[in-house]
Amino acid sequence: RTSLLESRSDFVLHFVNGPPDTCHDVCLCLLCVQDEGAYQEIPITHHVKEGCEKAEPSQFELLKVLGQGSFGKVFLVRKLMGPDAGQLYAMKVLKKASLKVRDRVRTKMERDILVEVNHPFIVKLHYAFQTEGKLYLILDFLRGGDVFTRLSKEVSISCSVMFTEEDVKFYLAELALALDHLHNLGIVYRDLKPENILLDEAGHIKLTDFGLSKESVDHDRKAYSFCGTVEYMAPEVVNRRGHTQSADWWSLGVLMFEMLTGTLPFQGKDRNETMSMILKAKLGMPQFLSLEAQSLLRMLFKRNPSNRLGAGPDGVEEIKRHTFFSTIDWNKLYRRELQPPFKPAAGKPDDTFCFDPEFTAKTPKDSPGIPPSANAHQLFKGFSFVAPVSLEESRSAPICVCVRCQMHGGVAQFADVYELKEDIGVGSYSICKRCIHRVTAMEFAVKIIDKSKRDPSEEIEILMRYGQHPNIITLKDVYDEGRFVYLVTELMKGGELLDKILRQKFFSEREASAVLYTITKTVDYLHCQGVVHRDLKPSNILYMDDSGNPDSIRICDFGFAKQLRGDNGLLLTPCYTANFVAPEVLMRQGYDAACDIWSLGVLLYTMLAGYTPFANGPNDTPEEILSRIGSGKFSLSGGNWDSVSDSSKDLLSHMLHVDPHQRYSAEQVLKHSWIALRDQNPHFQLTRHEAPHLVKGAMAATYSALNHQTCKPLLEPVAASSLAQRRNMKKLTSADMS
């Protein structure tokens, strides 16, 4: 563009503005000076190279609805042909007839901007095409959803939602690099808000939705349109005196303030009052923020855009040099080498668990669009686009139709894909059955959860996130069908661990230590990730097959499991510790982790002794069992104990210690000599004196007594939070547009 302007003096850059009292958008055009002195507008567009394959709707299979607005929908789709057959994308579909003139201009501008942009923190456009009535943008499918939807899923508190400063530092740094890239292309973003910040499956951000972005040439050129979400608007946008890229840095400050405090810096009872506050109100700076955070906010909230941080000749470098970002390695950040503070649950490629169920529950349907006026078709001339990488691949790869069998595709119900068989187990909130995949005839287990009795979200998140561990049950599929949720998992054909051990006439210390090592190693992995199981009874530890090999052990049933969360409700990785967690939360987490170890101690005791430590039989009352547990006394003499090593007794004493603060951690168990030197443990065969059903009955009585006394706090849904209510007020809830 710049070279064209420099070489052709008869072309000038022009912003077409509506009257001052309207909200007409700005369209970037080249004005060709004709001989008569008149001007002819020529839109700046991009065209597909002649001879290249154009995409069309029939090449994409609709799987789910990801979002919906007043102009159209966003679908999860699968490419059916071409070199990228089977690839998942997000398909944005807009009805031409529903678009006003300014909206048509915005859509065309969004397409043109996405063609130009190639950046690790900005969503990528793969295809753009149109039919007589609709426009299609094929974009990256980002399984993490948007930042606010993540908050809605992660937070179960009734107060406002906040991020930690470490979270904010990471996300703002990636956003700053994305905005700087746009600015270097002469683009003002103008609509920075949590809904437009997506997370990929690794937890990195991707900026999306360029319908309100505006192409410019340099900082001296200004746009005058009134657009964007009013709470995030810079003062110069509100008063329509013209704005440049500096307006985006104000919006970055608004986003930072909101993420750190859970509230907006300037928000009145209505739109007019909010705009007045943006222009005049004094910023109320929360004193709980660090001095570095307060300093950055003050420098971003300069009402004179020329004085704002990032508006100087160094641009984004001014922001990068600020002390708030002193710990950021910007080169590693750009290369995506820094660990994000939050990693979305990673299940199957087409999982949409991170998206709003208000949309994903809808049937994906793309109905024919009503043809627009003739001039609308002219506006979108040259709309089609194929990303260069797709073109290169298409020249070398044959076009084929994807016929891959899908475990879970489109709108299929559980019963369409699986055939239910006999019961495996029955619980208070769920029932587990064997099932068979109708196409492959493969056997699986399905846990059917009644959502009216228990929210399965936490269990699903944990299984999606950690189910790839070799000793954690693998989640294969999830079907949400209203009242019931179906969790399809691998089938544990080897049965319960304790069943298998008790059926063996003889069992040695060496075998017991190998079993305990595998289970404790898995528990240690979970605890290091901030996950506590809280229900590690032997019936939830099973064998994958009949081999009896400890490697085939799986920890199952995460119905009571919890993930460590910060004060803001977001999950915490090991690098985010006590600085961001309330002491009582850490204490509770430590208590739950100690309970996991206590359960493993009960299992070890039973494996070695042949009976349980605190219940004499299935008929013991809960009061009797709890009294023995509370006393912390158990026998380590008589029977098998006369043949068991002192090392195993020492480990047991630490695992079953009545004081959870003095109880061993999983890491300490693994370092104990009985585990670390397990290959040297005795081969001596320990005998079984009690019938297996009596031992299992006593074990069941033990955990029944424990569960009987457990009180679980009631938490309000995130919809009660002020942030969620504010978002819901703005959410477009138009009727189905099909």
Q: What is the per-residue DSSP string for 281-343?
A: PPP---TTS-HHHHHHHHHH--SSGGGSTT-STTTHHHHHTSGGGTT--HHHHHTT-SPPS--
CATH code: domain of residue 171: 1.10.510.10
**Whether residue 476 sits in one domain with residue 500:** no
Determine whether the annotation assigns residue 447 to a binding site: yes
**Whether residue 499 sits in one domain with residue 480:** no
**Whether residue 610 sits in one domain with residue 461:** no
Last residue of a domain, one of 489, 524, 553: 489
**Whether residue 338 sits in one domain with residue 241:** yes
CA distances from 203 to 293, 531, 558 (A): 23, 18, 23
**Within a domain: 304:** yes
**Whether residue 485 sits in one domain with residue 501:** no
Last residue of a domain, one of 345, 362, 387: 345
CB-based burial, 27-48: b 16+ in 10 Å, e otherwise: bbbbbeeeeeeeeeeebeebeb
Identify the residue whose tokens are 């047991």: 652
**Within a domain: 364:** no
**Whether residue 322 sits in one domain with residue 186:** yes
Q: What is the pLDDT of residue 94?
A: 79
Last residue of a domain, one of 489, 509, 541: 489
**Within a domain: 357:** no
Q: What is the pLDDT of residue 300?
A: 95
Q: Which residue, 40, 41, 28, 30, is CA-closest to 4?
A: 30
Identify the residue whose tokens are 């595998």: 518
**Whether residue 541 sits in one domain with residue 449:** no
- On whether the CB atoms of residues 349 and 89 are closer than 8 A, the answer is no
- Boundaries of domain holding 476: 414-489
Which member of 84, 167, 180, 191 is catalytic? Answer: 191
Determine whether the annotation assigns residue 610 to a binding site: no
Determine whether the annotation assigns residue 66 to a binding site: yes
Determine whether the annotation assigns residue 559 to a binding site: no
**Within a domain: 236:** yes
Whether 191 is a known active-site residue: answer yes
Rounded to whole angstroms, the Cα distance separating 221 from 216 reads 6
pLDDT digits (tens, 9 = 90+) for 339-380: 887 776 555 555 555 555 544 445 555 554 444 444 444 444
**Within a domain: 194:** yes
Q: What is the pLDDT of residue 699?
A: 86
Whether 329 is a known active-site residue: answer no
β-pair partners for 418: 437
Determine whether the annotation assigns residue 432 to a binding site: yes
Rounded to whole angstroms, the Cα distance separating 186 from 698 reads 73
CATH code: domain of residue 485: 3.30.200.20
Which member of 524, 535, 596, 620 is catalytic? Answer: 535
Determine whether the annotation assigns residue 427 to a binding site: yes
**Whether residue 640 sits in one domain with residue 570:** yes
Rounded to whole angstroms, the Cα distance separating 18 from 272 reads 21
Determine whether the annotation assigns residue 320 to a binding site: no
Q: What is the pLDDT of residue 69?
A: 62
Q: How many CA atoms lie within 13 A of 312 on its CB side?
A: 13
**Within a domain: 235:** yes
Determine whether the annotation assigns residue 665 to a binding site: no
**Whether residue 468 sits in one domain with residue 325:** no
Determine whether the annotation assigns residue 306 to a binding site: no
**Whether residue 600 sits in one domain with residue 537:** yes
**Whether residue 233 sits in one domain with residue 170:** yes
**Within a domain: 352:** no
Q: What is the pLDDT of residue 200?
A: 84
Determine whether the annotation assigns residue 67 to a binding site: yes
Q: What is the mean pLDDT of each run of 10 residues along the chain (738 residues)?
A: 31 31 31 33 33 73 76 82 86 71 52 66 84 82 65 37 78 94 80 82 80 39 50 83 81 90 86 88 88 95 92 92 96 92 62 50 51 44 46 34 30 85 87 93 94 88 86 90 90 91 84 96 92 90 92 93 66 42 56 89 92 86 88 89 93 93 95 95 80 83 73 39 48 37
**Whether residue 121 sits in one domain with residue 171:** no
Q: What is the pLDDT of residue 542?
A: 95
How many independent structural domains does the chain possess? 5
**Within a domain: 688:** yes
Q: What is the pLDDT of residue 2?
A: 34
Q: Which residue, 142, 285, 300, is CA-closest to 209?
A: 142
Helix (H, G, I), strand (E, B) or coil at 368: coil
Q: List the structure tokens of 169.
A: 């530092």
Rounded to whole angstroms, the Cα distance separating 519 from 522 reads 5
Determine whether the annotation assigns residue 51 to a binding site: no
